[in-house]
Amino acid sequence: MRTIPHWIGGAPHVPDGCATAPVWNPATGDTCAAVPLGATAEVDAAVQAAAGAYAAWRHTSLSRRTEILFRFRDLVASHADGIAEIIVREHGKVLADARGEVRRGLDVVEFACGIPQLLKGEFSENVSTGIDTWSVRQPLGIVAGITPFNFPAMVPMWMFPIAIACGNAFVLKPSEKDPSASILLAELWQRAGLPDGVFNVVHGRKEAVNAILAHPAIAAVSFVGSTPVARAVWEAATRSGKRVQALGGAKNHMIVMPDAAMDEAADAAISAAYGSAGERCMAISVVVAVAGAADDVVPRIAQRLERITVGDGFDETSQMGPLITREHRDRVAGYIERGMNEGARVVADGRALHVRGREAGFFLGPCLLDHVTPDMSVYRDEIFGPVLSVVRAPSYEAARDLVNGNPWANGVAIFTSDGATARRFQNEIEVGMVGINVPIPVPMAYYSFGGWRGSLFGDAHVYGEEGIRFCTRAKVITSHWSATTPERAALNFPTAR
């Protein structure tokens, strides 16, 4: 059985006699590897390696850092297929989707390659007579990332390229469910010339997370996961005096107005709800059909569901793969029965799906529930699977208020052909990322990703300019050079003169 190691101080590391967890191939149901479950000792070792490397890395010139980032970018691009294959094997998503994940991670690496421009400060000459003031941004020290299973390459690449480009050292705690991609990325960093210890990987579960949150040498923590855990991470890390960005769960709505292009809206709902088997924090899980829009869009969605091919992610004909674990598949499937008992109409039931040759895989077909109401569990809970609910709203105002009243506020979309409605929506909706005739409004790397309310704890979003500010702290310098010595000291508060 292959063991996936930690990566500490520039080398793979597997402690003797350590506890391990299985890594599954979700398409076959087989165990494909074992991963060591790191604890306090492994986190301490990674932090020690990071601290040793940081002292020199923070003083490494911007041109040298940029050179390494460009090399890393080229190596990731040339190994994109290999990274994608690892993702398919351990996560289950289809190969095309895994390739797209790597591409979106590369976008952030490319953004970080512009670090000399991004770290430029400000300068003001003669703020007072003979006195100049300027600002600089300096690294924090050691930044940690705790990332989820659903994007084992992309989400870590939302975090560590910017942190490292800014001069920090980094400790990554990836999901133990699909950890191999992080080790390949560590190897590529080393090949790019990153000094040993600047990037480290520690696998594990709660004990490793708690050790990261409590460690006094870690200055900042980035997290992506469920809302309850995000809240706990934020509370624990801030108690330890750390800077925190903790991205939580979502219940993303897609409002369909009666004047929408219904075929376009149906296609968008399919791709946004069932891509990656719905295991995306930006997946659309609720269609809010306004007035008579439901009678137009629901049959179109149902018709398209019949054409979705579900199977092994390595099969080029597959459009949707399995869920991450058997337990998660069963949990998601349970919502179909629950929704039906609560009064929803099951339009499509994916529980009977049979994938020939992959009977032991963790598959669930696309599920569609109509006439869902806000009091039902299928609406209230983050299901994180291929389940799309349709809520019928009598008006635009009712749809808007439904979204604004939801405890999550990650992403939202509206489909309409009316520019005035779209403009009103983008102004009135209280959600962090908004799409207009775009179902999954994930910003490009030069903006920032993050939601509102229960979808984000902390003040900073990830990547983009907010990522730069999160990974650095500002220092303002006021300087005066004088050829003469004052006759006596001035005790008054300094003012411009």
Average pLDDT for consecutive 10-residue bins of the chain (497 residues)?
96 95 97 97 98 98 98 98 98 98 98 97 94 97 98 98 98 98 98 98 98 98 97 97 97 98 98 97 97 97 97 97 98 98 98 95 98 98 98 98 97 98 98 97 94 95 95 96 69 72
Q: For residues 213 and 268, state if they share a domain.
A: no
Q: Is 18 a catalytic residue?
A: no
266: helix, strand or coil:
helix
Q: Could you tell me if 183 and 37 lie in one domain?
A: yes
pLDDT tens for each residue of 55-109? 999 999 999 999 999 999 999 999 999 999 999 999 999 999 999 999 999 999 9
Q: Within a domain: residue 93?
A: yes
Decide if 449 is inside a domain: no
* pLDDT of res. 496: 67
Distances from the Cα of 7 to the Cα of 4, 81, 306, 477, angstroms: 10, 22, 44, 38
Strand 452-453 and strand 408-409: the pairing is antiparallel
d(CA 122, CA 486): 29
**Kind of pairing, strands 30-36 and 20-25?**
antiparallel
The reply to whether 314 and 365 lie within a common domain is: yes
Instruction: Kindly tell me the sign of the dihedral angle through the C-alpha atoms of 434, 444, 230, 336.
Output: positive
Instruction: Using only the alpha carbons of the chain, give its radius of gyration.
Output: 25
Q: CB-side exposure of 145: number of CA atoms within 13 Å?
A: 30
Tally of domains within the chain: 2
Q: Which two tokens stand for residue 241?
A: 């005096």
CATH number of the domain where residue 341 is located = 3.40.309.10
What pLDDT does 484 receive? 64
pLDDT of residue 278: 97
Contact by Cβ (8 Å): 464, 156: no
Residues paired with 65 in a beta bridge: none
User: What angle separates helix 154-165 from helix 62-78, to the nearest 10 degrees?
Assistant: 160
For residue 402, the enclosing domain spans: 252-436
What distances in angstroms separate CA 274 from CA 86, 367, 410, 439, one per listed residue? 21, 9, 18, 12
Whether residue 160 is found in the same domain as residue 287? no
Q: Which residue has the tokens 């010595």?
A: 485
- Residue 345 shares a structural domain with residue 415: yes
Domain check: are 314 and 299 in the same one? Answer: yes
Is residue 203 in some structural domain? Answer: yes
pLDDT of residue 448: 93
Judge whether 142 and 157 are in contact, CB under 8 Å.
no
Assess whether 428 and 473 both reside in one domain. Answer: no
Same domain, 273 and 233: no
If residue 348 lies in a helix (H) or strand (E), which one and from where to where?
A: strand 345-348
pLDDT of residue 489: 67
Strand partners, 310: 320
Residue 485 lies in a domain: no
Same domain, 233 and 296: no
Both tokens of 284, joined, read 């659309």
Same domain, 293 and 200: no
In this prediction, residue 63 carries a pLDDT of: 97
Place of tokens 């891509």: 275
| 18, 113, 166, 281: the active-site residue | 281
The answer to whether position 32 is within a domain reads: yes
The candidate with the shortest Cα–Cα distance to 387, out of 233, 279, 247, 239, is: 279
Strands in 472-480's sheet, in edge-to-edge order, are 123-128, 131-139, 472-480
Residue ranges of alpha helices (H) inside 429-476 are 464-470
